[in-house]
Structure 1
Amino acid sequence: MDRTDSRDTGDERPGEIVSPLRRTFEVGFWVAVTLVNGVANSITVLIDIRRSGLAFAAWEPAVWEFSSGLAFLALVPALLWFTRRFPLHWDTLRRHLPWHLLASVVFSSAHVLAMVAMRELAYAGMGTSYEFGDWSRGLLYEYLKDVRTYVTMVATIEGYRFVRRRLKGEARLLDAPDDVETPPGKIERPERFLVRKLGREFLVAATDIEWLQAAGNYVNLHVRGREYPLRSTIGGIEARLDPARFVRIHRSYMVNLDRVASIEPLDTGDARVLMADGSRLPCSRRYREVLRERVAGGRT
């Protein structure tokens, strides 16, 4: 998918080129989980009904289970966005956990409303009606079940992102030598970044970074077709990089001036920046003139 906007199926950000294979895997995973759970739970519930001699039609367990599963599936994009905004890592757990507790209530409420609506439509199509029962008790009962599903889904998403970061390699700033002190008022500018990938470590020169992209609590460093997440904000790393070489072009993007191929003005007043590696990045109007002056006049 060669474009700068992406539909969220995993942990991709706007501007990230997502391969069709990866997209198929991510979408297919959630669809497969929904189908397998729906089929397995429908059969199990139907067996229990037959053993208990309850007066339910054979199609009803399928409606119950698949309405619930499809409601969860519809909530995946929102959950992906929310976990990017409030990721659960050891250093963010205390700060973000209250937001997740609140989100679990919203998650369960949305699940129940969508589930009941689908059941009512299915029952109406079969010439009968569906009754959810007492809403106050029903919502509490469903929440006690849904909170476990919420925890499982969040853990799955965070686990997948953790594995992807390890496979791609995660960058960090090199610690300054103990015997070297930075003079007061002077900012220490990193010349190299340490990247850990699959148990190996190697160095990436700051000058090799082509462009940077904010991604929640991370900034993705794009280097020779590869992407290394760095635990930082875009503003934090901007203050550390050499302003003679790197320039901000968007609230979520910075570029290496040496790697800018061209700037394409847009009718909206914004611009599109074509990088030497073929990437097309957005440039906000507030940064457009500064970028043009820096590219035209050279680094200052």
Structure 2
Amino acid sequence: MSEQADVEYRDFQRWGRSVEVAFWVALAILNTVFNGIVAQIDHSRTAAWEPWVWESSSSLLVLLLIPFIQVVERRWPFRFDTWRHSLPRHLLASLAFSLMHVAGMVELRKLAYALVGWHYRFGAWWPNFGYEYLKDIRNYFLIIALICLSRLWLLRKQGEATLLAEPDEGVPVEPVDRPERFLVRKLGKEFLLAAREIEWLQAAGNYVNLHVRGRDYPLRATMAGIEERLDPARFVRVHRSYLVNLDYLAEIEPLDTGDARLHLRDGAKIPCSRRYRAALREHAGQPATVE
């Protein structure tokens, strides 16, 4: 593993959200500028400001709707192994995206025109919406493609874990139902990650993130599925979205709500639901208390 790659990934983790927002804003601005110039050439007889109102209102609504697309993509990931299942849902989502986009930009244009004492007319709704939808479905899947490409880049930098597969011939080197190691692929290289080194696990959509020494390795699995395959004497469910390795648990902080906050040795703080708190105390060697 390259030390430079690790530094780049840590920098991305620190500034990732800001970089993501800046990227979408810059893309929207560039799209507005280029489309505005073209629209001004195509509609030379209109007032000079009108094409810019059209394009900026459209770009602003697309920008505001990107979180909607991200939520849909997280719910139905668009990948090589799932695209047949995801495509019908994304087509429906693209229709909803287009309806919100067109309705929102029309209202913005009406407002802009009203400010100068003019009246904006969108025209007949359905013929014009059909035209807009042809553009919107292209934009929708372009945004999906950019999201998927960014995820692939992130996985290459971050590394992605998989369970060791049972060999085609011979006896497995270790039990596949209770793995002692996970295979991690990162930047074209593979290495083994000991299960006992996993400090905590967190559910994230269709993945479970394995947290090891400040890094997260996504594993394609459900929380319930991976819980069954980990050593129950070491790994304890503390929340519907979290599993904790007791070897790395430093402190259990009770909360007034009956829940708890777990302090791990790496400084992380993990929520512990009330329903899991008694079981955690027993695993940690503390007597369960009735609350």
TM-score above 0.5: yes
Alignment length, in residue pairs? 275
Which residue in 2 is equivalent to 1:78?
68
Whichever residue aligns with residue 44 of structure 1, its letter is V
Counterparts of 2:97 and 2:252, CA distance in 1: 42
> What secondary structure sits across from 1:239 in the alignment?
helix
Q: Give the 5 Å matches for 1:231-250.
A: 231-250=220-239
Matched, 1:91 2:107: no
Distance 1:219 1:138, change over 3 A: same
After TM superposition, give the deviation of residue 38 of structure 1 in Å. 0.7
Which of these residues, 26, 33, 40, is aligned with residue 39 of structure 1? 33
The aligned residue for residue 191 of structure 2 is: 202
Structure 2 residue aligned with 1:261, among 239, 250, 268? 250
Q: Does 1:272 align with 2:272?
A: no
The correspondence for 1:180, drawn from 168, 171, 177, is: 171
Q: How many angstroms does 1:130 deviate by?
A: 0.9
For 1:265 and 1:81, the matched residues in 2 are separated by 33
Residues in 1 aligned to 2:37 and 2:270: alpha-carbon distance in whole angstroms: 50
Partner residue of 1:284? 273
Report % sequence identity. 57
Which of these residues, 25, 33, 58, is aligned with residue 48 of structure 2?
A: 58
Query: SS where residue 296 of structure 1 aligns?
Result: coil
- Structure 2 residue matching 1:41: 3-state secondary structure: helix
In 1, the alpha carbon distance for the partners of 2:71 and 2:90 equals 13
Residue 216 of structure 2 corresponds to: 227
45, 48, 51: which one pairs with 2:42? 48
Q: CA offsets per residue over residues 228-265 of structure 1, 9 Å max, x none? A: 11111111111111111111111211110111121222
In structure 1, what is the equivalent of residue 6 of structure 2? Answer: none
Moved more, 265-274 or 111-120: 265-274
Bigger mean CA deviation after superposition, 91-100 or 265-274: 265-274
Supply the distance in 2 between the matched residues of 1:144 and 1:161 (Cα, whole angstroms): 26
Instruction: Please give the per-residue CA displacement for 1:83-128, whole angstroms capped at 9, x wherever unaligned.
Output: 1111011221122211111101111111111111111111111111
Deviation string 1:15-49 (CA, Å, 9 cap, x unpaired) is xx974422221110000001111111111211222
Mapping 1:161-180, distance limit 5 Å? 161-177=151-167, 178-180=169-171
Secondary structure of residue in 1 paired with 2:208: strand
Runs of 4 or more above 6 Å deviation: none
SS in 2 for 1:90: coil
Distance 1:99 1:22, change over 3 A: same
Say which is worse superposed, 262-271 or 94-103, in terms of deviation: 262-271
Partner residue, 1:23: 17
Q: 1:125 maps to which residue?
A: 115
Matched AA of 2:129: L
Q: Paired residue for 2:3?
A: none
Say which SS state the counterpart of residue 48 (structure 2) adopts: coil
Give the structure 1 partner of residue 282 of structure 2. Answer: 293
Which of 129, 137, 141 is the matching residue for 2:131? Answer: 141
Name the aligned partner's letter for residue 239 of structure 1.
E
Q: Which amino acid aligns with 1:200?
A: K
Contact 2:159 2:217 in 1 (8 A): yes
CA–CA distance in structure 2, aligned partners of residues 276 and 18 of structure 1: 24
- The CA deviation at 1:144 is 1.2
Distance in 2 of aligned mates of 1:290 and 1:103: 42
SS in 1 for 2:226: helix
Structure 2 gap ranges (5+): 1-10
Structure 1: which 5+ runs fail to align? 1-16
Q: What do the CA deviations read for 1:55-104 (whole angstroms, capped 9, x no partner)? A: x1111111100100000000111211211111011221122211111101
Counterpart-to-counterpart distance in 2, 1:266 and 1:133: 59
* Aligned counterpart, 1:12: none
Conserved in 1, the CA contact under 8 Å of 2:164 and 2:176? no
- Could you tell me how far apart the structure 2 residues matched to 1:249 and 1:38 are? 48
Structure 1 residue identity aligned to 2:161? A
Tell me the C-alpha RMSD between the 2 structures. 2.0
